[in-house]
Amino acid sequence: MKFQAEYRDLVAAKKLQRAIGEIVTQPWTIMEVCGGQTHTIVRYGIDELLPDEVELVHGPGCPVCVTPLELIDKAIEIASCDDVIFCSFGDMLRVPGSRHDLFEIKASGGDVRIVYSPLDCLKVAEQNPDRTVVFFAVGFETTAPANAMAVWQAKKRRIDNFAVLVSHVLVPPAMESILSSPNHRVQGFLGAGHVCSVMGYEDYEPLATRYQVPIVVTGFEPVDLLEGIYRCVRMLEQGKIGVDNQYARAVKREGSRVAQGLIKEVFEVTDRKWRGIGTIPHSGFRLRSEYERFDAEQRFAVGDVQVRESSKCISGMVLQGIHKPHECPAFGKECTPEHPLGATMVSSEGACAAYYNYGRLLESHQPSCSSTLAGKPAIVPLPTD
């Protein structure tokens, strides 16, 4: 496919690998923020292509992972109501709540539906005027304009049997939270390309200046990631701070003003709790008062749900790049994608799930030729003990 296949080209990747090796003179730790990038890195073995001096650590950029457990429980409570059609993106259905997940609610007769786009929910609502359609509005800034459009359209078209359960989180406050932590290891960032395609990267410039780090807005294909790493290493080696844009084919400095206007019309910034990290000030969106009647939490009066996370899970440390997945005693044992204990194992974009799914079970992981870039990840056989 155009704009995809050429960015998976092995020859181009090897040239970039060589270029990184030629400019690096000392150890550097770079964090990729986005879970989609984490998935590509582990799937294609991008980190195995890098010289020993360049270490990649994985950030908190998986909205599925960082959605608080109590919000999953609220979703399950709402989806269990007889007069509700609960709609969600597919990857939220298998995230376990305290006792159940949405798939179990569906299996036991609940009307839980996977949608491709939030606009699909409006059609479902119009077709079912005697029931309430609730959409699980999860995501970063990338997904916010789509969810905002659904709410805006619902108001405009007077579709009153529609509501959203909002769990929107924002990337720059999470980056700032990591950088302001005294024990962080991050010297440079690969910025989340699709978040920036919506929001631009003006907000990242003061962050780069304040914390003296380079941030390279980066795409999602192997060649994108290698070029992003090359640019970030080059900035680190030259002592440069600021924001560079590797993903210029899809990202402008100002982002999409149309999308930003739509977000501002429907949402306002609020504090948000991140699973595995805790509450980060001004790190999420909630509905503005003009759109409050579409707020599922108010409409269904799902009160404060008390939950407790596993004491064994170190996902908070993994999300902040302080530890790697295989440094957790539960990783691959009590904690697997089928039975996740914490945030980073619940979605394929979580660092722990990516490591598990691509056979990264040991700290001394040997390069496994997963760096073929042929689209076929190498799966290391799991231990049989």
d(CA 106, CA 112): 5
Dihedral, 254, 144, 274, 75 alpha carbons, nearest 10: 180
Q: How far is the CB of 89 from other proteins (least distance, A)?
A: 7
Nearer to other proteins by Cβ, of 40 and 320: the residue is 40
Classify residue 305 by its DSSP letter.
Answer: P
| Nearest distance, CB of residue 120 and other proteins, angstroms | 7
CB of 51 to other proteins, least distance (A): 17
Closest approach, Cβ 108 to other proteins, in A, equals: 26
Tell me the backbone φ, ψ of residue 66, rounded to 5 degrees: -90, 0
Smallest gap from Cβ 64 to other proteins, in A, equals 6
For binding to other proteins (CB under 8 A), which residues are involved?
1-4, 6, 12, 15-16, 19, 34-36, 61-64, 89, 91, 116-120, 138-140, 142-143, 145-146, 149, 153, 157, 192-195, 197-198, 220, 223-224, 227, 246, 248-252, 256, 258-259, 262, 347, 349
Bridge-based pairing state of the strands 278-287 and 267-274? antiparallel
By beta-carbon proximity to other proteins, the closer residue of 158 and 339 is 158
Closer residue to other proteins (CB): 225 or 330: 225
Tell me which amino acid residue 77 is. Answer: E
The minimum distance between CB 4 and other proteins, in angstroms, equals: 6
Residue ranges in the chain assigned as alpha helix (H)? 10-23, 35-44, 46-49, 63-66, 69-79, 102-107, 118-127, 144-156, 171-179, 193-199, 204-211, 222-238, 257-266, 296-299, 315-319, 351-357
∠ Cα 250 256 259 (to 5°): 125
In the complex with other proteins, which residue's Cβ is closer, 261 or 281?
A: 261
Pick the closer one to other proteins by CB: 139 or 284: 139
One-letter-per-residue 3-state SS of 151-188: HHHHHHCCCCCEEEEEEEECHHHHHHHHHCCCCCCCCE
Q: Which is nearer to other proteins, 21 or 361 (CB)?
A: 21
β-pairing, 214-218 vs 162-169, is unpaired
Closest distance between other proteins and the C-beta of residue 83, in Å?
25
Which residue, 146 or 378, is less far from other proteins as judged by CB? 146
